[in-house]
Amino acid sequence: MSADLRPRSSLLPLASTLLVGTVALYMALVAFSNITDFGTNQQFVRHVLAMDTTFKDEDLMWRAITSTGLQDAAYVAIIVWETVAALLLVGATYFWATALRSRAFHTARRYSTLGLLMVLLLFGAGFMAIGGEWFVMWQSKSWNGLDAALRVFLLSGVVLLVTCLPHDEPAKG
Residue 169 in contact with residue 105, Cβ under 8 Å? yes
With beta carbons less than 8 A apart as the criterion, state whether 93 and 17 touch.
yes
Buried b (16+ CB within 10 A) or exposed e, 97-115: bebeeeebbebbbebbeeb
Model confidence pLDDT, tens digit, residues 4-55: 444 456 789 999 999 999 999 999 999 999 999 999 999 999 999 999 999 9
Measured CA to CA, the distance from residue 84 to residue 97 in angstroms comes to 20
Q: What is the pLDDT of residue 80?
A: 98
The pTM of this model reads: 0.91
Q: What is the pLDDT of residue 46?
A: 98
